[in-house]
Structure 1
């Protein structure tokens, strides 16, 4: 049988997880907004340089 203390501990744990999830959500929404703003501010540069380089066959980055 689950005691009142265990119920209280589960409630506390759930509230703590919700608070952390809220902080994570706020962080990721702010990141998304920054990328959107960066995209908007560099749109003209991206349009001018959108053609791929001749002979480009693979990414210079290793995964």
Structure 2
């Protein structure tokens, strides 16, 4: 049996015929927070935001002909 707790990002694994306590796997290090993404811009392109859910990346790219 697998149970995922989205509050603390832990996965609990239990075997059907095993009386032992379930195995707990902490997956919190896999939660995206913006720090794992790097975006480089140059010239007339810009980026704002930190890449988190509260402050997502916004990338503005301008074509050579001036259209956005």
TM-score by length of 2: 0.28
In terms of fraction of residues, the more strand-rich structure is: 2
TM-score by length of 1: 0.30
Which is higher, the Rg of structure 1 or of structure 2?
1
Larger RCO, structures 1/2 (Cα 8 Å, 6+ apart): 2
